Structure 1
Amino acid sequence: MRGLKMIRSAQRHNTQCPLPASKPGLLPTVCGYKSSTFIGVFPRNTPTLSTKRRPVLPSHVTMQGLGKLPGIAQLFPQPRVPQPAEQFYYVFQGDHWEPVESGPSEAARMPDAFSVVSWNIDFQRPLENERMKAALDYLGKSSIRGGKTAIIMFNEMIASDLQLIQQEPWVREAYFVADLTGERWISRYGTCMLVPKSLPVKNVFRVPYLKSDMGRDVLFVDIALPGDKTLRVGSTHLESLRADPPRRPAQLQMAADFMKQADAAIVGGDLNAIEDFDKTLHLSNDLKDAYLETGGEEGAEEGATWGQMVTKMERLRYGLGRLDKILYCGELSAEGFRRFGIDAVLEGEAGERLVNDYFGGLEKPWVTDHMGIMADFKLRVTTFSAAGVESR
């Protein structure tokens, strides 16, 4: 695989990212990659990539307990400006996963049409291993992804979910993975992204949100386009519930700032759009909403991604909501949008246990409480065709 710098020998079975110290007089490095490469990529007044890992919360602090704490800032000092931290992504080689050092790769022929998939897999619902395996089996069906080049994002991943992702044959065969471990998450759960091997990955990095009481961040993958251009794809899980002042506006604004540094950019995930202001956050940040741009209507039941696969009590209390979104900007257009997952259920004895044991009772053994979403995109041919973007 040309353009990929494989980290071998002693790191062959080690998925942790070493942070080599910089030599005197040289720029700091992160995972062996010079920070100077990213100067000009990040928003103005943003420091180059952090050479220190974000601390991990103590194992006894869960998300439920975190909500009762005065704030994560009192546990760990938080920076006043975004701190993007570069990291590895991984490829399956032979019989194991290899870390790949982020860095410029030789630009492959990028298809002008591709899809982005996002799915939140509830980390609290019982039978987490069985549910995640069922979700992966569901996504592995070619009918779900339509045989297209599809970037897949997951929200609310826990450590065992990442292990199951690594074991999935269709993932091993066709995808890069970021991440294999949750060591870069601040909370006990986080995001993960699967990127087709056919796409030339340039960089992978996370940016913790400056204002988050739940340890939320955005995971970005930069993909090389011909003509020295960049497609930046981000996966995020914005702050849950209500807050005073609200957290989500500042979080999406930070994500949008990073998006606008690329020629084309997408961010997707559980945006927890539960308040009126959430309906216009994309407009406030000069972003487009793939669902709305393809004919969807705000408030329509057909667009709801949460509420169908929960207990009757939860549905009556909270109703339906379009919590999950895919937003974009730059040199691309949304060509299609759909939901999926209403028929993703556990079969057999496991399904019966889930229905019977879940507090409040489920009507069906759904693998999660969120519907998945998928948006089809097309790069603007007038911008990239002359530079060699592959049309399909």
Structure 2
Amino acid sequence: MRPLEGVLVVSLEQAVAVPYASRLLADLGARVIKVERPGTGDFARQYDAAAGEVSSYFAWTNVGKESVVLDLKAPDGARVVAELVERADVVLCNLSPGALRRLGLDADALRARHPSLVVAELSSYGEGGPYSDRKAFDALIQSEAGLVALTGDGDAVARAGISVADIAGGVQLQAAVLAALVRRGRTGEGATLRLTLMEALAEWMHQPALYAHGTGREPLRHGAHHPTIAPYGPFPCADGAVHLAVQNDGQWRRLCSAVLGLPELADEPGFGTVAERVANRDELHARLVESFRGLSADDLLAALDAADVPAARTRGVGELTAHPQLTARDRWTRVAVPGGSAPMLRPPVDASTWEWEPAAVPALGEHTDAVLTWLGYTPAQVADLRARSVI
């Protein structure tokens, strides 16, 4: 038995952050009913067409859910949502706060009617403050929180290659929901949870913010190399690149003696300490590049492993579904998506007391009729709602 079996989550969601949170809850066994708008549904369905008929984003964040199409502005659509909420343990939402209040689906209204309900709302910046009415998406939050300024090389800045603000929000929202459910099990009382994308990513930016605050200096951009540790980053070799992560003097000395065959380099002026190696990064990198250029990535990694110097291959993301470690550990499985199937990773935490059960990514409105029947609607009533475009 999975830990959240019997827990019903109703999610008024779109895009990435809240869908990712509800997908994580579905992984743990929750029944997640995703409410989508008529016509196009969650707009993330159309970001690309990399997973059958839906986008890679949608497939990733919607495994194992049920899709119900409802017009929330229609009185009968609102009534269906109210009936779902009556049975729900958790309601998640990332519609705008104003829209929720107009629909009577904001946390305060829901909790007033259902004190034991856990209601979680996610917004861009939260209410109050000069940004309360500003819309934002992942890349904009990355800019506001300083991540774009921190990422890149030299004068060139870059957005992080994945939606880290959305992921930060989704992970923290899921954790808060789990904590609220544990507390409800002890007290019987629900909870109102409010999270902003800005504050979710700001939490992850704590360390560089503390560095800038304490030193009075912004961390410099060094591409994939570490701003305050060296050598720490990718180095080209004969057939690719190997990423070094030399974090202490013992690893540095082993790199010099066992891998480079240059034990004297460890104590050469300008290279003896981490701070000196960072200060002389360009010269250090030139020396390493010259030493590595004739080696294959496999040979260099073998030498680094033998010397107990942390390193990794620098791989393209297209190689991930065939990564030898993930393949050997059987981490990938095929999951049905609208129009086909797609490879999906198993949840990264293995549990001794329950198994993950891969389930399909839903087509738009695939479960509308089944959910309405479960709520007690007759076939004639379902047909009437469809005829009036409520569903």
Higher helix share: 2
Q: TM-score, normalised by structure 2?
A: 0.25
Whichever of the two has the greater Rg, that structure is 2
Q: TM-score, normalised by structure 1?
A: 0.25
Higher strand share: 1
